[in-house]
Structure 1
Amino acid sequence: MRAPGFWHRPPGIASTLLAPLGAVYGMATRRRLAGQAGFDPGVPVICVGNINAGGTGKTPTVIALLQRLADRGVAAHVLSRGHGGSLEGPLRVDERQHRADEVGDEPLLMAAFGPVWVGRDRVATAQAAVAAGAGVLLLDDGFQNPALKKDLSIVVVDAVIGFGNGRCIPAGPLREPVAAGMARADMVLSVGQPRAQSAFHDRWGAQVTVPHLTASLEPLQMGMDWHGTPYLAFAGIGHPGKFFSTLKSLGADLVQTVALSDHQPLTPAIMARLERDAAQHGAQIVTTEKDAVRLPPDWRGRVLTLPVRMRFDDEAALDAALAGVMGHDTA
């Protein structure tokens, strides 16, 4: 489902009428978390989560941390619930064998960068990863799940969207009130360009009561010249508009943009429609890395992909936080 527009505007009639339900939702989250110590798997657990529902940049953050720890000789394994996948697990994702409809698109994407495990049971999945040699667990999402003891909780937020209208679902985009999330977080990572970061600080800075790091998603162009070719761009991510804006900033001529629902299956009917539309414009189809892993096999060589990577503005602060968790210098 697409997020309602009023979630990201100042509170109005719709959000005010739904505010009592939002309060109930927030209280339910608080009750679920109350008094839960969580299972200690015997290795550090770094949670990359959010307070907002929807895409905030968690997956690129997990990939960046996975690579950062691996470069420092730390055997980090990712734990995911496998949203959108049919397999209950626990199992280790094999990007050469598994499909997105089995393990979820995000785990399949992350598995290209390091060990990834999916499982509905967080404790059993953590135990499987540790038994396989994990020295640290990267918990993809799970900030509102008390099953595991967390050593470092990083709340990721889109600097453009911030915390929306500040209200809980269904009155707003929040899974819990900002203050409640800050009480359990160790760090906030806002993702966006400088102008968005400044606006986020002005609007939400006073409510961010933990160390605040900033980062941005940078496209990997790999020598690609985006000028001179018409493109049909599609995306089934939390905020497709960000992908389209990135392409335009690179000089791409977008003759058509198609925003799909987050994690939407790329059926033969959808791909045939996109192909017809692209042919009418003489355009090349382009999509995101996360969407690309859901493509039918015979489409993977026909759709262009724009990868992005997380760039941290203060790497020293991030390394210090990781070192505190690992108990040694990760620099």
Structure 2
Amino acid sequence: MKTAPSFWWQPGLGPKALLLGPLAAVYGLVAGRRMLSAPSSQSRLPVICIGNFTVGGTGKTPFALRLCSLLQAAGHRPVFLLRGYGGSERGPLLVDPAVHTSSQIGDEAFLLAAAAPTIIAADRPSGARLAETLDADLILMDDGFQNPALAKDLSLVLVDAAVGVGNGMVLPAGPLRAPLSVQIRRADALVVVGEGTRADAVIHQAARRALPLLQARIVPQSGGRLDGLRVLAYAGIGRPEKFFASLAGCGAILAETASFADHHAFSQADAEALLTRAQSQGLQLVTTAKDMARIAASEGEIFRWLARESDVLDVSMEIEPEDRLMTLITDALRRRAFRA
């Protein structure tokens, strides 16, 4: 997956966005009509979707993990369902971290499988049918908000307060996966992640539709070990700069950084370059849990070496108010039971 162009996230419409405007109009028309089409399949299990309006990371994985924990504490038995971006397998496939590699199933699947049974499926209805054979009482679908193939009982849509929806344009002129006006109509609640004002326009649109509003923030778990440490930080996620900012917030000194495309498959040359740069300057390598999942599952001594030499900045997510989130889910499950 290529790195998202910087002009997507700049306010206003620059020449590149305007040039791509006609293509974006066609793409937006098709994507919008698809989103508004009736679902082609409904699972016997309730489906809670965790999505976003744009390409790139908004914190869906830490949100999904926190929500899974809350549901399990309430006595539910969730199963994760995701596409498995970055992997070669199309599924439906029940993830086994001891057998599968990140090149097969992607990086998110490894993190989610540590918390609950996880299924990857390019065709989500078939993945839902596999979920129905497990000891589960609901599906947590990571991404797939724009995909109408599987009916959703509740769609929780995340937006990053620091960047919002970028320039507000649809692919390829901007980061939106479909026109925002259409996506808002399919959302059941808006979750604003982090701090900033770039999501204000989205918040206002959500308020006009009386959508519930939740706040969330990603909390680094460094334990003070990075304070004053000179590091070479590297990441292949949607927005590596968010990771770098988190490291700086933990007191790390970012002597060097290396940004890769989202879901980047690290090569032997990448690993050798990172190790050489860190050793030559006496820097501690630090990366994300997602990147480490891909590296640790890669074959070859160079990757085992990189994994040993790299520290991982784990993160958790705080959601406010959590009781409101759980009420939304309870209400959705009741509506589902009433319709049945």
* Common topology (TM > 0.5): yes
Check whether the contact 1:236–1:261 (CA below 8 A) recurs between aligned residues: yes
Show the counterpart of 2:124: 122
Within a 5 Å distance, the mapping from 1:290-309 to structure 2 comes to 290-295=290-295, 296=298, 298=304, 299-309=306-316
Unaligned runs of at least 5 residues, structure 1: none
Q: How far off its partner does 1:95 sit? A: 1.8
> Counterparts of 1:78 and 1:127 in 2: how far apart (Å)?
13
Cα separation, partners in 2 of 1:37 and 1:227, compared to 1, 3 Å: closer
SS in 2 for 1:46: strand
Show the counterpart of 1:5: 6
Q: How far off its partner does 1:135 sit? A: 0.6
Show the counterpart of 1:317: 324
> Counterparts of 1:261 and 1:326 in 2: how far apart (Å)?
38
Show the counterpart of 1:77: 79
Check whether the contact 1:234–1:257 (CA below 8 A) recurs between aligned residues: yes
The answer to whether structure 1 residue 216 and structure 2 residue 204 are counterparts is no
Check whether the contact 2:79–2:140 (CA below 8 A) recurs between aligned residues: yes
SS in 1 for 2:248: helix
Scaled by the length of structure 1, what TM-score is found? 0.94
Amino acid across the alignment from 1:205: I
Residue number among 157, 160, 163 corresponding to 1:158 in the alignment:
160
Q: CA RMSD in A?
A: 1.5
Regions of 4+ moved over 6 Å:
none
Show the counterpart of 1:37: 39
Check whether the contact 2:32–2:179 (CA below 8 A) recurs between aligned residues: no
Identity of paired residues, percent?
40
> Counterparts of 1:125 and 1:3 in 2: how far apart (Å)?
29
Show the counterpart of 1:261: 261
> Counterparts of 1:191 and 1:44 in 2: how far apart (Å)?
25
Check whether the contact 1:178–1:207 (CA below 8 A) recurs between aligned residues: no
Q: Deviations over 1:295-317 (max 9, x none)?
A: 14613332100011110121121
Check whether the contact 1:255–1:281 (CA below 8 A) recurs between aligned residues: no
> Counterparts of 2:149 and 2:112 in 1: how far apart (Å)?
22
SS in 2 for 1:308: strand
Within a 5 Å distance, the mapping from 1:54-73 to structure 2 comes to 54-73=56-75
> Counterparts of 1:255 and 1:233 in 2: how far apart (Å)?
8
Residue number among 204, 207, 210 corresponding to 1:206 in the alignment:
204
Greater mean alpha carbon deviation, residues 35-44 or residues 135-144: 35-44
> Counterparts of 1:90 and 1:201 in 2: how far apart (Å)?
35
Cα separation, partners in 2 of 1:149 and 1:204, compared to 1, 3 Å: closer
Check whether the contact 1:230–1:281 (CA below 8 A) recurs between aligned residues: no
Show the counterpart of 2:237: 237
> Counterparts of 1:34 and 1:306 in 2: how far apart (Å)?
39
> Counterparts of 1:212 and 1:16 in 2: how far apart (Å)?
32
The number of aligned residues is 323
> Counterparts of 1:29 and 1:204 in 2: how far apart (Å)?
19
Q: How far off its partner does 1:201 sit? A: 5.2
Check whether the contact 1:76–1:135 (CA below 8 A) recurs between aligned residues: yes
Cα separation, partners in 2 of 1:19 and 1:322, compared to 1, 3 Å: same
Unaligned runs of at least 5 residues, structure 2: 336-340
Check whether the contact 2:169–2:175 (CA below 8 A) recurs between aligned residues: yes
Amino acid across the alignment from 2:220: P
Q: How far off its partner does 1:96 sit? A: 2.3
Check whether the contact 2:162–2:194 (CA below 8 A) recurs between aligned residues: yes
SS in 1 for 2:126: helix
Show the counterpart of 2:247: 247
Check whether the contact 2:165–2:199 (CA below 8 A) recurs between aligned residues: no
SS in 1 for 2:286: strand
